[in-house]
Amino acid sequence: MSEKFLEVYRKSLEDPVGFWAEQAGRLHWKERWTKTYDDSNPPFYRWFVGGKTNIAYNALDRHIKAGRGNKAALVWVPASGEPRVLRYWDLYREVNRLAVLLRSLGVGKGDRVAIYMPMIPEAMIAMLAVNRVGAVHTVVFSGFGAQALAERMADAKASLVITADGMTRRGKIAP
């Protein structure tokens, strides 16, 4: 391991609250937090109390504004081996398209959306779009049976499920 990595790792262990405050300071915040870490009500610990940010903005918009729109944001290599590269602009456009659709379906701040998709770029697009509109996503694993999936989505109180009609597994299309 590099000396730089070991130094960062050491700092994270010695002062985790200070370390994460420094890391969070690199992100865009609509409103900066008033307290980095609140452990006054175990087991309900809270980080960045009072802060407001949007992960989709931090993952996409700020990079585009910094001139990285044509840089690779997501590189996906499927089992077939043919890579698919999405630039920040590409990802931004797809996330916003889905966010508009979600809003038209009534999804908004605080709503919960289940994502039941294979490991494809569209899964990341779905996660970022849900965040873009202020909703919360829960990713449900395709290995669960129908009953387990239904229980998890009901428990999360998901108002919408984003899914795919199939996937490729071991070179074959599975519905």
Same domain, 37 and 120: no
Same domain, 15 and 27: yes
So what's the pLDDT on residue 143? 75
CB atoms within 10 A of CB 162: 23
Host domain of residue 166: 54-175
Angle between helices 88-104 and 121-132 (to 10 degrees): 60
Same domain, 62 and 127: yes
CATH of the domain at 91: 3.40.50.980
Same domain, 88 and 120: yes
Report H helices in 45-145: 55-56, 62-65, 88-104, 121-132
Report how far residue 84's alpha carbon sits from residue 73's, in angstroms, rounded to the nearest whole number: 11
So what's the pLDDT on residue 165? 86
Same domain, 68 and 30: no
CB atoms within 10 A of CB 7: 10
So what's the pLDDT on residue 78? 86
For the chain, 175 residues long, the average pLDDT of each consecutive 10-residue run is 93 97 96 97 96 95 97 92 94 98 96 93 97 94 83 92 84 77
Task: Indicate the pTM of the whole model.
Answer: 0.87
Bridging pattern class, strands 136-139 and 160-163: unpaired
In a 3-state reduction of DSSP, which class is residue 42? coil
